[in-house]
A and B are shown apart, each in its own frame.
Chain A
Amino acid sequence: MENSYRADLLRGNTDLMLLFLIDQMKETYGYEIIKEIERRSKGYFRFKEGTVYPALHKLERNGLLKGEWKKRRGEQERRYYSITERGREVLLRKLGMWEDFSRAVGLIFGNA
């Protein structure tokens, strides 16, 4: 019950988190994103790593991310993702909605 509630919350906000992190990290790849989410959430968000890739592909197909295969010196070739202009617009809009939502929830719980 607790786990499914947490999964629902995560599922509803995966796109927002991915767009936010990729915008901050400028150019990054799937594995790095997963580790960054775990690090920033102090291990709270631990999900099946493989589900991140379909989410990244969805954002790319919707034109919010741009994916490119690149090989950096001394490293293996990886698919790097960066945010597009459209992606940034969507991120700002979603962030605004998220702030309004969390403020409203805070008001209900009386800790605003």
Chain B
Amino acid sequence: MNRDIENYLKEVHSHLHLDSRTEKKILKEIYTHLEDTINENENYISSDVSYDKLAKRATESLGDPREIATLMYREHSRASWEEVILHFQPYLLFGSLFGFHLWHSFVPLSVTFLLMAAVTFAGIRKGIGNWMFSWAGLLFGGITAFAYLIKESTFHEIGKIFYSVFGGRGYFSFPSLIGLLLPLVVILAGLSIVTLFALRLLQGDWIPLSSVMMPLPLFLAWAYVVNSRAPLYGWLSAQMAGIDGIMVWVFLVCGFLSALSIAVGVRKIKVLTIFLGIFASLFLFVLRLDGVLNLYVLLVLFLSSLAIVLVPFLLYNFFFKRTELDMELAELPARLKAMI
């Protein structure tokens, strides 16, 4: 296969950063264009012009491969307004859970997690849309936060079962086993689904994973505060209800900037919006909580926000980035098959 065409397609591919299905369609269309150009020029140009020269001319007339890839990325990564609204929904849902103080009620919380898990699972099975990032992200953040909150009672239950089995003490009861297993199953199932989702995302790009991870620092900050202050104030105290009120605003800010990040098609702006979304929501949470912000706290907020951008970037570049065209051969024209 001609080296110029191969290099051209590789160059486009390396800057596309889209899901593999879309990338394949784009590369195939560009390839057929090159073929058409070569075929037509073969008919008009004298036979002493080699195929290699025709291929070089065809790639030159198609233009800068990086520019094409950037324009294609812009078109395919930019969400429609319907997708933006869908993306914002889970933030509204969690905002409502906190606004109506329902997050400690079993049924609304379970229904919310089930809904988010269903959407995330559907994304893995049927193809991931931009709007699904927030559903997977809030499932991940929410489950991690609740796992953190129930860690002590979980360890306590495990200890009781351990003693009843190995120590011969009569602590063990069936309801306590169910009470232990149910949250563990929910947490493990939820985290497994999100992990599969994240692995699928990393096949194409790292920015979507940053978008998924956006609510995580916020949830962790909230879980830390609740864990340390609930015993002090009481679970149903006015102070605890006040924290719920703060979370409503924080979810709205984070959701707005998260939705903005999928609405734009320029990579740098996407990253900046994700970073700002994390930083702004954490900043708002800390500021409204105690009204005290010092340099140390600001530095922690900055580093947390940076980590959510940097971790997916490093993961992708070290473990997932593909330098070769590894598309499904069966879907490509014969000449492209020969090329790979």
| Residues in chain A within 8 A of chain B (CB atoms) | 29-31, 48-51, 53-54, 57-58, 61, 69, 76-79
Whole-angstrom CA separation of A15 from B68 in the bound complex: 17
Residues of B within 8 A of A57 (CB): 26, 72, 75-76
With A31-B33, A31-B36, A50-B67 already in contact, 6 other A-B pairs whose C-beta atoms are closer than 8 Å: A31-B32, A48-B61, A51-B67, A53-B68, A61-B76, A76-B32
B333→A49 contact, CB < 8 A:
no
Shortest A25–chain B CB gap in Å is 15
**Which residue of B26, B32, B65 contacts A78 across the interface (Cβ within 8 Å)?**
B32
Shortest B169–chain A CB gap in Å is 65
Residues of B within 8 A of A69 (CB): 28
B62→A54 contact, CB < 8 A:
no
Residues of B within 8 A of A54 (CB): 68, 71-72, 74-75
Residues of B within 8 A of A51 (CB): 63, 67-68, 71
Whole-angstrom CA separation of A31 from B38 in the bound complex: 11
- The interface size of chain B toward A, counting residues with CB under 8 Å, comes to 24
Whole-angstrom CA separation of A53 from B76 in the bound complex: 12
**Which residue of A29, A30, A58, A77 contacts B75 across the interface (Cβ within 8 Å)?**
A58
Whole-angstrom CA separation of A57 from B28 in the bound complex: 14
**Which residue of B26, B35, B67, B72 contacts A76 across the interface (Cβ within 8 Å)?**
B35
Please name the residue on chain A nearest to B80 by beta carbon: A61
Please name the residue on chain A nearest to B70 by beta carbon: A54
Q: A30-B33, A31-B33, A57-B76 are in contact. Are A50 and B64 (CB under 8 A)?
A: yes
B241 close to A (CB within 8 Å)? no
Shortest B84–chain A CB gap in Å is 14
Q: A48-B63, A61-B80, A77-B333 are in contact. Are A53 and B30 (CB under 8 A)?
A: yes
B64→A48 contact, CB < 8 A:
yes
Please name the residue on chain B nearest to A60 by beta carbon: B75
Q: At the interface, is chain B mostly helix, strand, loop or mixed?
A: helix
Q: At the interface, is chain A mostly helix, strand, loop or mixed?
A: helix
B29→A79 contact, CB < 8 A:
yes
Whole-angstrom CA separation of A32 from B28 in the bound complex: 16
B37 close to A (CB within 8 Å)? yes
B37→A31 contact, CB < 8 A:
yes
Residues of A within 8 A of B65 (CB): 50
Whole-angstrom CA separation of A48 from B26 in the bound complex: 17
Closest 3 interchain pairs by CB?
A48-B63, A54-B71, A50-B63
Of the candidates A31, A48, A50, A58, the one having the most CB atoms from chain B within 10 angstroms of its own CB is A50
Residues of B within 8 A of A30 (CB): 29, 33
Residues of B within 8 A of A50 (CB): 30, 62-65, 67-68
Shortest A10–chain B CB gap in Å is 14
Residues of A within 8 A of B61 (CB): 48-49
**Which residue of B29, B32, B67 contacts A48 across the interface (Cβ within 8 Å)?**
B67
Please name the residue on chain A nearest to B331 by beta carbon: A69
Shortest B219–chain A CB gap in Å is 33
Whole-angstrom CA separation of A82 from B307 in the bound complex: 46
Whole-angstrom CA separation of A102 from B28 in the bound complex: 39
A53→B26 contact, CB < 8 A:
yes
Chain B 51-90, CB-CB to A under 8 Å as 1, else 0, gives 0000000000111110110011011100010000000000
Shortest A28–chain B CB gap in Å is 12
A49→B62 contact, CB < 8 A:
yes
Shortest A54–chain B CB gap in Å is 4
Whole-angstrom CA separation of A109 from B271 in the bound complex: 47
B75→A61 contact, CB < 8 A:
yes
